[in-house]
Amino acid sequence: MMSVDASVPGTVGVVVGEAGDAAAQMAAALLQAGVAPSVHGRSMQGVEALLEAGARWCGDMPELAADCGLLVAAMPSLAAGEALLSGLAGGPLIVIDVGTLGPRDLRAISAGLPPGIELLDVGQVDCRDGTTGIRTGGTVVAHERAYGLLSRLCTDVRHAGALGSGRVVAGCHRIVEAVTLQAVAEALTLARRLGADPGRVRSALAGGFAASHVLDVQGARMLARDFAAGHPAGDHADALGRMVEEAHALGLDLPATAVLAQQLNALVGAGDGGLDASALVRVLERMAGETR
């Protein structure tokens, strides 16, 4: 088994792009877990809640990087990532990216980093018990140095492989979940339209080879029309769109994933992006002219 360092560095830095971005959310979670990070953002106004909760303000990126061994950031694009890290002089420093960059962009940024600075990407997966798991991509050393921090946020933290692998695991997780979700939505909608009891159909499927956690949890949400909880459809749409782009760059087609990305985009376009992804059944209903 991999030996990991369960200690947490004395100072952790967080770069907050927007008040509600993934880095800000991680800073808030760290504060709840008893870790007070240093934070930097475009202005103090965007991090007021974090400062009130115990975070410490750093005036600029060099000061933040010099003050910590781990730096959390949510890099939304290649250009933004390169601009964010361009002023860093050197390590030792582990930059933990919790943004939306794909593997190609992560590797491009990593190639331009000064000696002593390593990039570690984080991907999240939904566990069967309702918790969230973390998968990291980067060197084993970078994973071990970040493990103590990440394990404060999640009990299931694993090294997925080389840089970009954490994001790949999370993206593939979304593909399997979303394609299965579409199958469940189609099956239950068809059952209802054919006059069968969709609840009994779901129970029958759950006892056979078609059984799945998606059928159990999100199938129940479809039947109950309970779309308030769970993972937002908009996040699924973004994740699937990124995986389709990565595949196209390789000359690879992902037909089912591409269709699902369009279905989820339709759901987001209808104003339902904040609902659980099980609300995907609404797209089928609207296509059939139903208003439920």
- Give the Cα separation of 118 and 109 in Å (integer): 10
12-162 and 170-287 share one fold: no
Sign of CA dihedral 215, 221, 227, 228: negative
On whether the CB atoms of residues 76 and 22 are closer than 8 A, the answer is: no
Question: What CATH architecture applies to the domain 12-162?
Answer: 3-Layer(aba) Sandwich (3.40)
Q: Which of 206, 94, 205, 210 is nearest to 143 (CA)?
A: 94
60-64, 235-239, 278-282, range with greatest mean pLDDT: 278-282
Which carries the bigger pLDDT value, residue 199 or residue 77? 199
pLDDT reported for residue 18:
65
**pLDDT higher than 80, residue 86:** yes
Residue 155: how many other CB atoms lie within 10 Å: 12
Hey, where are the domains in the chain?
A: 12-162, 170-287
On whether the CB atoms of residues 247 and 253 are closer than 8 A, the answer is: yes
Q: In sequence order, what are the residues at sequence separation of 6 or more whose Cβ sits closer than 8 angstroms to the Cβ of residue 201?
A: 187, 188, 191
- Give the Cα separation of 174 and 260 in Å (integer): 11
Class of domain 170-287: mainly alpha
On whether the CB atoms of residues 192 and 147 are closer than 8 A, the answer is: no
- Summarize pLDDT for 248-267 with one digit per residue, the tens: 999 999 999 999 999 999 99
CA-CA-CA-CA torsion for 144, 148, 149, 154, nearest 10 degrees? 100
Q: What is the mean pLDDT of the chain?
A: 89
- Summarize pLDDT for 138-188 with one digit per residue, the tens: 999 999 999 999 998 888 999 999 999 999 999 999 999 999 999 999 999
